[in-house]
Amino acid sequence: MEDQIKAMDIKAFLEQDEKKDLLRLLTAGSVDDGKSTLIGRLLFDSKRIYEDQLAALERDSRRVGHAGENIDYALLLDGLKAEREQGITIDVAYRYFSTNKRKFIIADTPGHEQYTRNMVTGASTANLAIILADARKGIITQTKRHTFLVSLLGIRHVIVAVNKMDLTDYKQDVFNAICEDYKSFITRLNIPDVHFIPLSALHGENVVERSTKMPWYRGESLLELLENIHISSDRNFVDLRYPVQYVLRPGNDFRGFSGRLAGGILRKGDPLMVLPSRKSSRVKSIVGYDGERDYAFPPQSVTVTLEDEIDISRGDMLVHPNNLPRVERHFEAMLVWMDENAMDPHTHFLIKQTTNSGKARIDQIRYKIDVNTLHRSETEHFQLNEIGRVVITTAKPLFFDAYDKNHETGSFILIDPVTHNTCAVGMIIDRVSSEDLPSRISDFEVQKIREGRSLITNEEREAKYGQRGMTVWITGLHGSGKNDVALRLEKRLFELGHIVVFINGQKIRERLSQDLDFSAADRAEHLRRVAEVCRLLNDHGIICICSFISPCEDIRRQLAEIIGKPRFKLIYMQTGIDRCKENKPELYREAESGKLRFLAGVDVPYEAPEFPDLSMDLDNNDIEKIVDLLQSAK
């Protein structure tokens, strides 16, 4: 590039540089194929290596290099210490270089099968892939695997670089045979644009300059091809997809919806539909720091204002009313398992697709695909680097297209709900309508049914009822006002839309505990049964209000254990015994005369709770305090 500068005025250079476009490419192959040497050569020959880096490179080559006396270009690329020592590239490394015509970002990924996920990662943002083949070995299993992954990730342009031609005496028939072999392999895959180049990375033949050693090859050198290949038509400019990323409300009246176009052209004045509300409006303006625009296209990041005031939030999508994506909870996808931990089919995953997040589960694995043979087989779950076709159900509808039509709206990631790692990534297929997808009871659910476990989760119940199952346990002397508080609380919660059950001693003694008497043991058993009932109801999201004298602190502690401490709320009616007698004179009279036994406060002690959640009495009891207590517990 030094020469370019000298030949050109710097201003002219900068103006030309400004206009260059960007090509993102993936290099697939292993160290043995000379991949790092090839990349090192591209960087070196385009003068992207500075002298100090070169000096370090020469030093490192002698010390830890694997290229004998030559410069080991691979050392330039392998960033991390551990990798340098092992002589392999483990992760995805990104490299940058530019020529007169273009800027390039190289995603450099390792070639071995155990690094499939790294290659998939690098491929996800690439427009083009260079697949390296060794001229002596031809199309081998690894080449096929790389090609499959490239087609899986929807890369439309492939350059097959047949390297090490120097070791086959630059023979044309060797090259031709490899080309034919490859062409017959890819008839099964969807790659529209394939090029073949014979080269020697080590000697720089056909890398930057056309080779004089292979006059039979009439095509461009690798760099020429990279500079000239047409990629801009790869984006979808037809179907408008504008996922709302951020709602911008800087004050005053401005209300903008920021986002990055995922498809189609957005124009001022266009009619729009908002998903999922399906409300309509028009584009009022497309706002930007550099002024307003008349139109915007992918992958621009803009801010839009609408003619009408509609409630729109992050995760919504703006589309043209006559061109909708699929709006579904149920779809098929190709999934790549990225996690060290194998897939647990019983997990609910977090899904992220465009700007939308939610819950998802894998309903069925249709098949697993062998990345080397493309052979399909059945499986129960996926392990690291395994790929297969699955049926997914999400908790709320997503707005998507097939990955083939739009990479942005057709891709998603699954996040492990416990570790938060990105455990899988997927590409949506929409060949089968959701009506025809397998039953909505997943394998996981079949398993649950077999075990007699509910198919509804606590979260789903909470979301549906707008509450969490809890028990309000009201304790106090006979006549202290327990039922009064309990029944008013029940009515109040009912009015607020809650699902609530009232339980008191009388109801339970009549039926459930009719076999029990009032001995200490039976009183404990009676309360144990009540607590088990509460636990069951709470587990199903229902609020219980229990009114029981329950005089013994130790028993109350056991009740809390059964029901679950966080959802057990103890209310103490601390009304004095004289006031209680005044309120309910009959029973006290009977107990005092000895006709009735075991009445707390008379012949059985009442132990006041040490740590009630709330205390009140007959004459001073604001049930709103209990309502607040329940709501704050959410």
Give the footprint of another protein on residues 273-332 (CB under 8 A).
287-290, 295, 297, 299-301, 303, 314
Residues 32-61, one symbol each (x = binds another protein by CB under 8 A, - = not), give ------------------xxxx--------
Q: Can you read off the two tokens belonging to residue 8?
A: 């050109």
Three-class HEC string of 370-418:
CCCCCCEECCCCCCCCCEEEEEEEEEEEEEECCCCCCCCCCEEEEECCC
Of residues 220-249, those binding another protein (CB under 8 A): 232, 235, 237, 245-246, 248-249
Nearest to 166, CA basis, from 120, 118, 201: 201
Angle between helices 482-495 and 623-632 (to 10 degrees): 60
Q: Does 379 bind another protein (CB under 8 A)?
A: no
For residue 492, the minimal CB distance to another protein (Å) is: 34
Residue number, 124 or 538, with CB nearest to another protein:
124
For residue 94, the minimal CB distance to another protein (Å) is: 5
Query: Residues in contact with another protein, total (CB under 8 A)?
Result: 84
Q: According to CB under 8 A, which one of 349, 412, 473, 588 is a site residue for another protein?
A: 412
For residue 197, the minimal CB distance to another protein (Å) is: 24
Residue number, 92 or 273, with CB nearest to another protein:
92
Residue number, 122 or 198, with CB nearest to another protein:
122
Residue number, 74 or 591, with CB nearest to another protein:
74
* Contact of 399 with 365, CB cutoff 8 Å: no
Among 87-95, 177-185, 198-206, 390-398, which window interacts with another protein (CB under 8 A)? 87-95
For residue 578, the minimal CB distance to another protein (Å) is: 51
* Contact of 89 with 96, CB cutoff 8 Å: no
Longest dimension (CA), the chain: 122
Q: According to CB under 8 A, which one of 91, 166, 404, 590 is a site residue for another protein?
A: 91
Residue number, 108 or 430, with CB nearest to another protein:
108
Q: Does 355 bind another protein (CB under 8 A)?
A: yes
93, 114, 118 from 122: Cα distances, Å: 8, 15, 6
* Contact of 275 with 317, CB cutoff 8 Å: yes
For residue 80, the minimal CB distance to another protein (Å) is: 5
The whole-angstrom separation of Cα 359 and Cα 348 is 6
The whole-angstrom separation of Cα 615 and Cα 543 is 20
Among 144-152, 415-423, 433-441, 445-453, which window interacts with another protein (CB under 8 A)? 415-423
Nearest to 573, CA basis, from 592, 550, 594, 596: 550
Residue position matching structure tokens 């209310």: 571
Q: Does 420 bind another protein (CB under 8 A)?
A: yes
Q: Does 7 bind another protein (CB under 8 A)?
A: no
Q: According to CB under 8 A, which one of 46, 58, 101, 103 is a site residue for another protein?
A: 103
For residue 271, the minimal CB distance to another protein (Å) is: 16
Q: Does 146 bind another protein (CB under 8 A)?
A: no
* Contact of 282 with 244, CB cutoff 8 Å: no
For residue 413, the minimal CB distance to another protein (Å) is: 5
For residue 245, the minimal CB distance to another protein (Å) is: 5
The whole-angstrom separation of Cα 402 and Cα 332 is 10
CB atoms within 10 A of CB 52: 8
Q: According to CB under 8 A, which one of 273, 360, 415, 543 is a site residue for another protein?
A: 415
> Is 568 exposed, middle or buried (CB count within 10 Å of its CB: 0-12, 13-18, 19+)?
buried
Residues 423-442, one symbol each (x = binds another protein by CB under 8 A, - = not), give --x-----------------
Q: Does 167 bind another protein (CB under 8 A)?
A: no
Q: Does 383 bind another protein (CB under 8 A)?
A: no
For residue 289, the minimal CB distance to another protein (Å) is: 4
Q: Does 558 bind another protein (CB under 8 A)?
A: no
DSSP string, 60-114: HHHHH-SSTTS--THHHH--SHHHHHHTS--S-EEEEEE-SSEEEEEEE---SGG
Of residues 11-30, those binding another protein (CB under 8 A): 11, 13-14, 17-22
Among 89-97, 130-138, 449-457, 521-529, which window interacts with another protein (CB under 8 A)? 89-97
Q: Does 62 bind another protein (CB under 8 A)?
A: no
Three-class HEC string of 414-448:
EECCCCCCEEEEEEEECCCCHHHCCCCCCHHHHHH
Residue number, 245 or 615, with CB nearest to another protein:
245
For residue 31, the minimal CB distance to another protein (Å) is: 16
For residue 523, the minimal CB distance to another protein (Å) is: 44
Of residues 466-505, those binding another protein (CB under 8 A): none
- Where helices occur in 496-583 by DSSP H, the ranges are 505-510, 520-539, 553-563, 577-583
R_g over Cα of the chain: 35
For residue 303, give the 3-state DSSP assignment: strand
Q: Does 459 bind another protein (CB under 8 A)?
A: no
